[in-house]
Structures are given as structure tokens and as C-alpha cells.
A and B are shown apart, each in its own frame.
Chain A
Amino acid sequence: MGRRGVWGGAVLLLLGSVTTPLLAQVRQVAGTVTSAKGPVAAATVTQVGGRASAVSNDQGRFTITLPEGEVRLSVRAIGFQRKEVGIAAGATSVSVELAEDVFKLEEVVTTGQATTLEKRSATTATVSVDKEEITRAPAQSLDQALQGKVLGATVTLNGGGPGGGGQIQIRGASSIIGNSQPLFVVDGTIISNDAFSGGLNTVTRAAGTASTSAQDNLVNRLSDLNPNEIESIEVLKSAAATAIYGSRATNGVIVIRTKRGAPGQTRLNVTQRVGTQEPLRLLGSRVFSRVSDVANIPYGNGGRGVPTNPATIYLNQAFPDGTIPLSANRDYQKEFYDNTSPSYETTASLTGGSETFKYFASLGNRQETGIAPNTGAKLQTLRFNIDQTWKNGFSAQLSANVTRNVLDRGVAGNDNTCTSPMYCIPYTPGVINLDSVDANGTFVRNPFNGGGNRVSNWFETFQFLKNTQDVFRSVGSANLSYRALEGDRNTVTLNLGGGLDRYQQEAYVFSPPFLQYEGGVDGLLGRVAQSSAEGLNYNAQFTAVWTHKTANDWTVTTSVGSSLERQGTNFYLTRARGTLPGVETIQQGVLDAIQSITQFNDQALFANTQLQAFKDRLSITTGLRADRSSANGSQSTFYVFPRASAAYRFDNPLPFVSSFKVRGGWGQTGNRPRYADRDVPGGAVLIAGNQGIIAPGTVGNPGIKPETLTEVEGGVDATLFGDRVQLEATYFQRNISDLLLNPALAPTSGFNALVINGGEMKTTGVELGLTWLAINSRDLQWTLRPTWQRNVQTVTNLPSFVAPFNPSAGNAASMRPRIVNGQRTTWAWANAPFDASGQFLPTGSVVVDPTRVRSTRDTIIGDINPDFQAFLSSQLQWKRLSFSFTLDWRQGGLVYNFTQRLFDEGGTSRDYETPMTAENAPAGTSAEVIAFANANNIGLGRFRYLAAGPTLDGRVYSQDGGYVRVRDIALSYDVPERAAKSLGARTMRLTLQGRNMFIFTKYWSFDPENNRQGNQNIRQAQDLAAFPGARQFFFSVDVGF
């Protein structure tokens, strides 16, 4: 049976439920809904115990048909506290003033595919982020907009390049090799958050000769969403909540609702922002005063006096007397990351409609300029959201969104060709003006670090290199619901909904043959890579919901349904290396092509029941979902994920407590295997034109199944001190079993790795949140929301044959996580030297006496996970002025400072010659070692490099990544209505905004949050030559017509 079956079911139910109109004495009541700020639009007015309802228009006005006699009305609007008012018999008008819902207790939380609960009754800890918080300052991407705002989540950006690119982790990692990203649901469409390389590796060779690499500064597709279109974001964390999404939900679910129309006159709102940007922080570099100092730096960057070395030739010519004046020293970072050209953002939206038809249309255009020359990101979006209700019980919601996202990000991060500026600058002493051209108009050649085509001149590179990603994406959803039955006690609603997400990322890399580095390593001049990554995802879902009110006013909501999901990607890349001058397409030279296709087809059945009793003080939610997926070894097997949670609220239990709620939940969710984990293919090889097949590197597992996360969560929510303080505290323990692992095998097996389900890990954590209405007077309101979170994750079981392994890519010379039975997943492991007796040596002992080192051994040197993370959100409103900011405090957490290591290796770190002290020495350096270094004129930077050795001591560059930072800040002024009117507008607001304003940290390099490898389940926390982060300022004007 096809899709017709679903309709058949709907029609069946339709026939059984013919409604009869009410015949009674009625009257029309007109009313207004207002708040301290003016009229409240889109407030829902319903008769308590009855069925009459109305929605206020944009002037806050509504009319409602009510029975004669005394009735009570309930008035609710998003962002305001619900209010009940009585209407005397015969009255025909009413006015209602609503108070702001500072604690968001009126918001609804998702409890099922088509069911919700008010937050005051919520049985699990959920986070909601509203539009003011999301758009407090323009963000590079939604990831960045969410930083510091989601209690229980860690949001990190992989680098500071325009356009974003980051990852969101909720309650720690829930998988070691499986999917680690939350599920993103936008208006019912499950959208892709994939990230594809555009082929930059062709230039950087960060991963050798391959076409692509995870280190290509990937941007995940979440960046296609325009934060300005978002009304609210709900983050489901606990398995007791996320289990409604079955085997894709272990990483949490982020439910995004976009703005929708409100009844009333057509309203046009235009927001124009103009801004600029500067580096958040730069690192400086060593100042050279003598040619001999340059000549003697390691690696021969300075030429070491070899007459034929290009560096020697340059130095002798530029500084014939052997001294380098201070004025000849340059700060390449300051010269290069100096692009302050304006950034823009324009948003225009149109809303309006009637009670039965509402629309929202929005047009957005953002042009973000990067701090490096010729870099930037453009996001253009168009959205239509339409809501229609019909008198016969049908209603429909349609959403359509088209996005174009263009990125020009230059080169950043790891490389092996000295093309990434922050990789090459550390190896280039700042004694030559590279931002200049010679008599022929060619950029000055970088003579250092070997010179020639082994290095680059980044000023030249960023002038001519193209590294573009151009994404077209359409996301749409449609939901049709039918109120099949609406009685006093029973309501039955049928829902048929679905969403579609289609994107294409076209990427183009072009490196012209005349660039300095071209021809290096492989001898080929000029390279082009063109790629396409296409994604097609859809989901369709049928739900039937039956709400039953019992005689004692309990509400039982039961829903059943099924869903279909499909996600597919198709990536292909072709490239040419060794192109002819003038050719920017793939024609000549060494051509290669790669392609990879993935596809998931999933099916699910689900049933949920939810009970509200004792005047909604008790809430119980239970559910079951059964999933099967093409990714599983057994494709016809259903895996079942149950959940149950409950909350009980005490109203006014104590004089100063207005409500106190205890909640607890238990649930199981899954994480399905990765694509092709179930297959055991071979590897393809080619020799002399003949193709062959070899043993597979990773042996697939035909019995593979989803990992299972079982979570217990408990917590309390309380409203205290006359509704001035709201407190929430949550403890969770999650157990992830049947872990998807690909343990390395003994190489003598002839294989690299095997895919298995095995082992368990446990995460425990605490989340505390406080919302404090510190000042609440007529003219002045100040709300503070501090939160605090911490989690600890331990491997509790591993199959006996699984040796400890590194879950993330990365080299053994540095710090890395390891999966070891009984140990935390986030422990930082590193090589440390030990002596003949097996005792670890203090950091730097090798500098004093290399013969004391017997060998090195892997050991735990700290935790990559911070001790805790705390956020503070503040909103202050004084008359027409408002001021808000977000603060993010990360305490501890080790980061491997690879950027510093590059500077030390290149002999150009700013503290290369700084004498050592107990304060500035790397952790674990003994006084004896410090004294030795100072006595032998070994400066700090040189000491670090010698002490670390190539693979000797990973402790040296593993550094505290703690920080306190101001994520965003906004100061706005509402222009008085009269002034706005005189300018032809209805409303006007002026705002000054800043993003990424300050960072207070002892960390040496740009940003401890940068991550070399992009998305990694267990963070490797390696900061390697990332694109430096930008501080952005904006001035905005919002005008409503």
C-alpha cells in the first residue's frame, strides 16, 4: 500500500466524527490586550471551560463570541504570563494587561511528535532561546549565536573565519565514532548539518596528496540558517525528551521555530545593520636586531649564513652592516589581518493576515567581511511562512525557505606547503616587507624557510587564490492537521506533515601557477579543484492525537503515528594539478576525480501518552518509538526506544516560594550506525593502468546496530521571592551502551580496524540555572541569568580485545584523548619522558641532560573537558534604553597550543628570548631546569621547543584553555513614537551591537576554542594556525511601517 493508506486512515476517522453546532444565547465581547510596552498582538483568548476563542490583532484588539452569564477568559501570548479575567454577565468589553514572562514558564516544550506541555509543567530540563538572545548581535552562523546561551551545551567554533563553522555538543559526547551532532528540526523538517570540504587540501596538503581533508576549514550547513528568521529555539537534552526522535537523538534535539504571521494590518519591518571588524587578538612576534639572530634560528629559516640561501642573500643586501633597526621589524599579522571594510546586514519582513490566514515573508542579505583581505561570507535568504485555518477543522502550515550562502575564506589551519598564513608566518622572521611588489609588479618573494616555492607570500596568495563555496539550499515544510473531533471531553486531531531539505554546495579552488608556492613538493604549477556536494533529505510523518478530559478534569493525551525519513548525499570532486597559464578550469595536467554517495532510509512507529492531573500540578509523559534503518546490519529489525518522565508542582508551598516542582525522567535513545558500517568491501588500487582490489582498511560489521543511550535525569524548578527568582537544578546520568567503535586491530592481522558494537561509557553532570529579576520597577528592569554546568564522562567497559585508542585524528607527538577502560574520555594523554628507573622527568630535563631520558610513555596530563562552564546573560531596560550582554566563563580544560609550537619551531615567537621564570615556564618545569636555561641563555620560546622535542614531551604545549569572554553585547534605544512618525515610520529602534567583544585568558595563542580537525566527537582540542577570530561592531536601525 502506498501513501494512499495514510489518507484512507484519515478519511475513516473523518466519517466517524461529525460535529454539531452549538445553539445557545450568545453575545459579542470586544477587548484589548496590552502590556507595559503597548498592545500585545497574537494573544490567544479562550473561554475557560468553553470552546470560544479569539486572537488579538496587532493593536491588541479582539472580539469573541461568549455565552450569556458570567464567564472567565484565559489570555495567553508568547513572552507574557498567562492571565485569567472574569467577565460579568452582560458585559461587552474587557481590557487585559499582561506581565512579561521573564522565566519563560508559559512557553511550551515538546513532549511528542505532535504534543507539547507548558514549561511550568515540563517533566524534563529543556532550554529555550528566544529571538532577542539569538540576534543580540549579528552572528557568523547560528552556532555562534548560540554560544553561551544553552545551559548544558558546549558550542565551539573551529576557527574564526567568516561564515562560521562549529559544533554543538549537548551533555558531552554521546558517541565515539557515530554521529555526534544534535538533530536539527526546523518547523518540522529534519535538516542536514553536514560539512563538506571544498578541496583546499589540494593547496595545503594538510592531509598529503588527497583531494580533501577534515582540516579544510569546513563549514557545517547550519550556517545556512538566517538567525533573523528564527522565533525561538528549544533544546531537548534528556533522553526522556529526545527519545521521540528514536535512533537519531542521542546527541540532543534542537527544535527551531521560525517567525510566523500575526493577524492584522500588513506590517513591514526593515533592519539595516552596518558594521566593521578587527582581530580579537594577535600574537605579536619576536623582534630582531641582528642579522646573525635571524641566520641562527632553527630550521635554517634565516639561511644560517649559507651564501646561496635566498634568506642570506636578502639579509646581506637589506642589512649590510649586520644590524636590523627596530623600524625594519614588521608585524605580519597586524599588516595582514587588517580588513575593516564594512559588513552589512539587511532584513526586511512582511507580516499580516486575518485570524484564518496569516503570513510572514522575510528577505535577508548579510555580507560579512573577513579580517583577512578578500575574505568574506554572504548569506541571502528568502522565506515564506503561511498559516491557514478553515472552519471545517482543517488547518495548514506551510514554510518555504531559499538560501544562498557564499563563502570566501582564503587559507587557514594546518598545511604542509606554507600556504596557510598563520602556519607560514611563524616560520618567517618579520624583517621583510612582503606586502609589496617588485619592478615587474610581482609580489616580493618570501626568502625565508628555504625560500623559493617551499613557502608562500600570503599577501600574494590572498590576492589571487580563489577558495569559494557557493551553497543553494531550499528547505520547506508542510503540515496539515484536521481536528476530527472536538467535544467537551474528547478532541482528536490528525496531522500529516513533512519537510524537504535540498542543498548543493559548489566549491571552487583555483591557485594560479604564478603564486610563489606553486611547483613546491610535487613540481606541478597551478591547480584547480571543482566540487559539488548535494544533499537531499526528507521526512514525512503521520500522527493522530486524542486528548481526553476525565470527569475530574485530568487530561490524557494519547498519540500514535509513523514516520519516514531519508537522508542522502552525493559528493564529487575533480581537480587538475599543473594547469596552463590562463586556464582556470579542469583541463590539463594531472586530473583526478573522487565521488562518494551516502544514503539512509529510516522508518519509525511511535505511541505516546501524557497525563496532566491535579489541576495540572502532576504531569506524566510516556512514550515508545520503534525504528528501523538502512544503516543497521539487520534492516528489518525494529529497535525500540521507551521513555517516561513525570513532574509534580507544589503551588505556594512556603511563604516565599510561589512554586516548587520536582521532576524526573528516564529514557532510551539510539544513534544508528554510520553509513556503510555494515558493509565489508575491499580497497581499490591502481598500478600501471590495471585496477586491483586489496583487503579493506576497516572491516565492516554485518551485525551492526544502533548505540543505546539510557539516561536518568532529575531536577527541581522553583519560583521564589514573589516571582523575582527562578531556580532550576538538574542532575543527569547517561549510560551509552553498545558503543559504535572502530578499534584499531593489531597490524599483523592485515587490517587497520574493525567496526563493532561494544563497550559502555557513562556521563554524569549537573546543570544549574538562576533567573533573577533583580530590579523590576516601572522604568527600570534588570534580569540576570547565570548558569553553571559540568559533566564528567568515563569509559566503564570495553571489549577485552579493544586496545586503548585515540578517537580523534591527530599525531602522537601532541596531546590527545584516548579511550581507555575505566578512564575519562576527555583525559588529555601525552608522551612524557622518563628516566632509567621509570620515573617521569620534570618538563625540560632533556634540555639539561639528554642522557637522563630513557624513553617516553603515554600518560594522563590533565583534562580536556573544563572543570565547569558558566554563562551569564544580562538584560537591563531603562525607559527606552536597553542594554544586554552574554558572558561565557570556561574554567580550565587543556588545549594543545600547536600555534605556539609553530612560532617556537620557527624561532619567531614573541617570547622566544624572554628569560624564564617560575611564572612563565611551562607547567612542571623544575627550578633546576629554569636556572639551567637562564644560565645558558635559552629563552622561553626556545626552551619550550627543545623541551617538547619532536615527540618527546607533550606536556609542554598542553596549556590551560580557560577564559572569560563577552560573547555579545547590545545597547538599543527605542525612538519615541512621535519622532518615528515624523520620519514616516511606526516604530524605530537604534542599536549598537558587538560580537566577540573581549576575551580574558592566559592562553598564548588566538583562541583556546579553535579546533584543528573540525567536528570531532571527543574533542582533540588542538589549536593549529586557525583563522584568527574577529571582534565585530554593528550599528543597526530597525524600522517598522
Chain B
Amino acid sequence: MTYFRALVASAAVATAACSSSSLNVGNPNSPNIAGAPNARAAVQLAVTGILAQARSNWLGWGTTTGSYGREYYLMQAQFGGVIFGPYRDWPLFNGNGAGLWSGYYTNLRNAQSLLTFLDTVPSANYSDQFKAGARGFARTFYALELLYPILARDSIGAVTTMPADAIGLAPFVSRDSVYRFISNTLDQAQTDLQGAGGTFSFALTTGYSGFGVAATTPAGFILFNRALKARVEAYRGSLGCGTPCYQAALTALNASFFAPVGIATLSAANLQNGIWHLYSIASGDVPNNNAVGQNQFVYANPSIRDDGRIPGVTSDLRYVAKIRSAPSSTVEGVTSNIQLQVFRDGNSPAPIIRREELVLLYAEAQYFTGNATEALNAINAIRTVSGGLTARGAFADAADFRTELINQRRLSLLFEGHRWVDTRRLLGYAGLPPIRFNEPAAYTVATRLPVPQLECDARRLNGDAAVRGPGCP
């Protein structure tokens, strides 16, 4: 047994040669917010993260609702499904239907993480006013980013709160509850911003200062917050809430960047005023892939020219500016020879919300709160300033107003992610043509996107019907 003892002894000696400290291997590839030098820097990183995520999310919103709203074709042979997918109102789990969901909730998580972080930072390290400013920012974005999934899912509803841990599941709530939640969150953000003093501790991009609205201070950011509030209240107004919501929309407009200009002194330039997402082809940044200069497959659905809903459309200044002729392209049996040049190249910014939309929201809210004259003034301001058209006469009835409104919105906000939502809330989808000759009428309009399969998979086994939600088969 001497030998065995010697063996054990030598093994013990060999073992001692290994120390566990060499096993401490870090991860040099991924960033960690905990490594920020101070709270202010950490907040800045989180704020920039939220802005960047929102910017990326918006691209999918533009193309998906552009397809559903018959504004856009991605004329790429390999993506035939993108062409006709949106024209079949099947609750399909496919590449088209799975979008407009995850990215927004990622950003809600980003906003929620920032809010949680702010709760843990001692006031000595980061002042209460700075905290209020960061909270106002985070809540505004929480509300904004939640608006997109509910617009996409409509009657299914959506999830409004973030579960505490990664595997938790917050319940689905109804469409109206989601809108109410968004509206309240915007108000809460406004309150935060009002207590945030004169400056933010963090910088925003030039999308918040370079487009005629100075939103880089708490006071300026309220102008943006209220513009969003006006949009949400107008949507709610058209979804059954009616006058009270439209009234709230008018109130919000008065506190937004709409107010100082109103409708009297509109110009082609100041209609572009607003808050914009920035894109760049620089390495590591995200290019505007909805731009025809960046993506040559960005075609216009020829229905804008051919469906006859807007007589003389091709001489409208907006059509002239936003549509260009292009080599004919045919994919999956659809053909187009016009392209969308709303966004010119990979560096082109895209509006989150701009004055032209606010003027149209103003018209809508005025009309449905009984002020048809002011609504006509607003519509005519857009017709003349933006479209180069003549002013029109009074509206015959509500249907007439709706048709006019939707035509103006169609051209003014082309490919900015509105038409599909607008036709649903204002016209019940009238005006969205079938895709091609052989499509049975039964699946010509997608009313909403399905809940993604991943979401349903995660919820299917849950015992609580509210958690499972109405959107999962």
C-alpha cells in the first residue's frame, strides 16, 4: 500500500498546482450597464438604448402597415410572401404576422429597467429632478412603444405591464384598457417632466431638436408628450369613446407643438416640424431600409394612382414628391412601376410625429366635437399648403368628412405607417383593394395581426384565461 499512498501523495501535489483563480474568465464581448462610471452615464446609455430600439422598431412598422395598408410592395422575388401575406386575413403564424410585437416589448423592458434603476440610485448621486426627467422620458417612450402593438392587434388587446422576472407572464387586457393605460402613462410622464427642472441630465439625438421642435429640455419634451397624447385620444375617439376623447385630444394639442403655429401660418416647411427617428448607414448604426435609395425593392402599390379614390392624384404635390416612376417589376403576380421615395436614402430620418399629422388630428377632433367649420379650415390648410390643391367646400355629412380626411391622411402621411390603421378606424377597411385578380374576396383584408406563435406557446399552458389571452388558438 506504500505505492498507493505515494500515488495519492503525488496526485495531491499535482492538484495543488491548480488554483481556481485561473477559472475566473470574464466576458469581453458584451456591454454591461453596471460598468458605467456613474449614474448619470448609466442613464445616458439607457436613454440612448431606448431611442435606438424605437428607431429600429419603427422600420418594421412602416413596411408592415405599408403592406397591409396597400401602400407598399417589397418587390423582391425571395419575399413573395411579403406581397400577398397581408392580403389574407388568416390567423397565420408567419413571418408577416409575427412582427410588430417583440421589438416593442423589448423597448418596454428597456424603459422599465431604466425606471427600476432610477428607484435604486441615491439622490445624492443623481438628483431628484434629474430622476424625474429620466422618468418622464422613460414613461413617454413606454406609452409610445405600447401604442404600436395595440394598433397592430386591435381587438385582441395587448399586455401593458412588464413581468418582474424573465419567465413571468402579465395578463392580456382589452383594447380599450390598453389605450387607457397609454393615455394615463403619458399623463404620468407629463407630471414627471413638470417636476424635472430646467434641463435633462442626458442628451437626446438631433431628432429632438433639428426638426423645428426643441424637445431636449423637460418643457420641450412635454410638447412631444402632448402631441402623442393627442394622437392616442383621437384614436380612442374614433374607437367608440367619441366626444370626451376628442375633447381631450384638443386639450393635448394645445399643449403640444401644434399650438404656437395652429393652422393659420402653415408652410410646406413647418408641416415637417416634429420629432424624428434618425438613421445612418454608418457602421454599427441602422440604415433606413424603407428608403428607396437603400432598398431598391421599395415599390409603391399602384392603387394610389389607379384606384380612382383621389381624382387627379398624380398632380398632387404630395404624390409628385413621394412617388417616382421606376422600371416595371413583377413579383408573385403583382406588378408595379412606381416607387415610394418618401425616404430617399439610408441616412433619411423618419417622423415619429409631425405637425402635418397634428393638423389632421386637429381637423378630426374639431369635426367630431361639433366644429365642422374649423375642421374644414384645417383640411383646407393641408389641401392648399401640402397638396397644392384648391380649398374645398363644406362637408356634406360625416361620411363625406371621413372620406376627405382619409384621402388627405393617405397623401400627407404616405408610408409613415397610418393608412391601414386609418381605414380600419375611420372607414371599416373600405378602400383597401384586393391584391390581384384570382384572390377570393374572403381574404382580401387583414384586420389585425395575430399574436406571434412564441407568445401563444408561452401562454398556452397557463391556467388563467386572462393570461392566455383571446388571441391564441
**Contact in complex: A562, B17 (CB < 8 Å):** yes
Give the residue among B101, B280, B458 with the most A Cβ atoms within 10 A: B458
Chain B 282-325 near chain A by CB (<8 Å), digits 1 or 0: 11111000000111110000000000000000000000000000
Contacts of A851 in B (CB 8 A): 440, 442
Q: Is B265 an interface residue (CB 8 A)?
A: no
Contacts of B37 in A (CB 8 A): none
Selected interface stretch from A401-409, A741-749, A1001-1009: A741-749
A544 vs B333: C-alpha distance in the bound complex, in angstroms? 75
CB distance from A329 to the nearest CB of B (A): 22
Q: Is A184 an interface residue (CB 8 A)?
A: no
CB distance from A223 to the nearest CB of B (A): 27
**Contact in complex: A750, B108 (CB < 8 Å):** yes
Given the known A-B contacts A3-B17, A309-B328, are A490 and B23 also in contact in the complex, defined by CB atoms under 8 Å? no
A687 vs B28: C-alpha distance in the bound complex, in angstroms? 22
A454 vs B168: C-alpha distance in the bound complex, in angstroms? 45
Chain B residue nearest to A566 (CB atoms) is B22
Q: Is the interface of A mostly helix, strand, loop or mixed?
A: mixed
**Contact in complex: B30, A542 (CB < 8 Å):** no
**Contact in complex: A855, B10 (CB < 8 Å):** no
Q: Give the contacts of B363-380 with A (CB-CB under 8 A).
A: none
Contacts of A689 in B (CB 8 A): 280, 282, 285
Chain A residue nearest to B458 (CB atoms) is A746
A548 vs B85: C-alpha distance in the bound complex, in angstroms? 75
**Contact in complex: A13, B163 (CB < 8 Å):** no
Chain A residue nearest to B78 (CB atoms) is A416
Say which residue of A5, A520, A676 sits within 8 Å of B13 (CB atoms). A5
Given the known A-B contacts A300-B330, A690-B205, are A546 and B3 also in contact in the complex, defined by CB atoms under 8 Å? yes
Contacts of B9 in A (CB 8 A): 9, 12
Q: Give the contacts of A684-717 with B (CB-CB under 8 A).
A: 684-696, 699
Q: How large is the interface on B (under 10, 10 to 19, 20 to 34, 35 or more residues)?
A: 35 or more
Chain B residue nearest to A696 (CB atoms) is B30
Q: Is A601 an interface residue (CB 8 A)?
A: yes
Selected interface stretch from A253-261, A628-636, A878-886: A628-636
Chain B 312-346 near chain A by CB (<8 Å), digits 1 or 0: 00000000000000011111110100000000001
Given the known A-B contacts A306-B330, A523-B293, A746-B458, are A695 and B106 also in contact in the complex, defined by CB atoms under 8 Å? yes
Contacts of A636 in B (CB 8 A): 20, 23
**Contact in complex: A950, B51 (CB < 8 Å):** no
Q: Is B459 an interface residue (CB 8 A)?
A: yes
**Contact in complex: B52, A687 (CB < 8 Å):** yes
Contacts of B328 in A (CB 8 A): 306, 308-309
Chain A 1-45 near chain B by CB (<8 Å), digits 1 or 0: 111011011101100100000000000000000000000000000
**Contact in complex: A13, B6 (CB < 8 Å):** yes
Interface size on A, residues (CB 8 A): 113
**Contact in complex: B45, A745 (CB < 8 Å):** no
Selected interface stretch from B86-94, B191-199, B400-408: B86-94
**Contact in complex: B52, A695 (CB < 8 Å):** no
**Contact in complex: B55, A300 (CB < 8 Å):** no
CB distance from A715 to the nearest CB of B (A): 32
Contacts of A629 in B (CB 8 A): 23
Chain A 279-315 near chain B by CB (<8 Å), digits 1 or 0: 0000000000000000000111101101011000000
Given the known A-B contacts A306-B335, A603-B18, A750-B110, are A681 and B32 also in contact in the complex, defined by CB atoms under 8 Å? yes
Q: Is B394 an interface residue (CB 8 A)?
A: no
Say which residue of A5, A13, A804 sits within 8 Å of B16 (CB atoms). A5
CB distance from B367 to the nearest CB of A (A): 36
Say which residue of A607, A630, A679, A744 sits within 8 Å of B454 (CB atoms). A744
Contacts of A452 in B (CB 8 A): 327
Selected interface stretch from A136-144, A227-235, A531-539, A592-600: A592-600
Q: Is A754 an interface residue (CB 8 A)?
A: yes
**Contact in complex: B94, A749 (CB < 8 Å):** no
Q: Is B11 an interface residue (CB 8 A)?
A: yes
Contacts of B85 in A (CB 8 A): 950-951
Say which residue of B10, B46, B105 sits within 8 Å of A10 (CB atoms). B10
Q: Give the contacts of A623-641 with B (CB-CB under 8 A).
A: 628-631, 635-636
A955 vs B455: C-alpha distance in the bound complex, in angstroms? 25
Q: Is B396 an interface residue (CB 8 A)?
A: no
Contacts of A752 in B (CB 8 A): 102
A813 vs B79: C-alpha distance in the bound complex, in angstroms? 12
Given the known A-B contacts A306-B335, A603-B18, A682-B31, are A521 and B295 also in contact in the complex, defined by CB atoms under 8 Å? yes
Chain B residue nearest to A692 (CB atoms) is B48
Contact residues of A with B, CB < 8 Å? 1-3, 5-6, 8-10, 12-13, 16, 298-301, 303-304, 306, 308-309, 416, 418, 427, 449-450, 452, 454, 485, 490, 492, 494, 520-523, 542, 544, 546, 548, 558-562, 564, 590-593, 595-597, 599-603, 605, 607, 628-631, 635-636, 676, 679-696, 699, 744-752, 754, 800-801, 803-805, 811-813, 831, 850-851, 853-856, 905, 950-951
Contact residues of B with A, CB < 8 Å? 2-4, 6-11, 13-18, 20, 22-25, 27-33, 45-53, 55-56, 76-78, 80-81, 84-85, 90-95, 101-102, 105-110, 112-113, 159, 162-163, 166-170, 203, 205-207, 278, 280-286, 293-297, 327-333, 335, 346, 440, 442, 452-455, 457-461, 473
Sample (8) of A-B pairs whose CB atoms are under 8 Å apart: A454-B76, A521-B297, A544-B11, A682-B32, A684-B31, A750-B109, A831-B93, A855-B90
A-B pairs, 3 with minimum CB distance: A750-B109, A692-B48, A300-B330
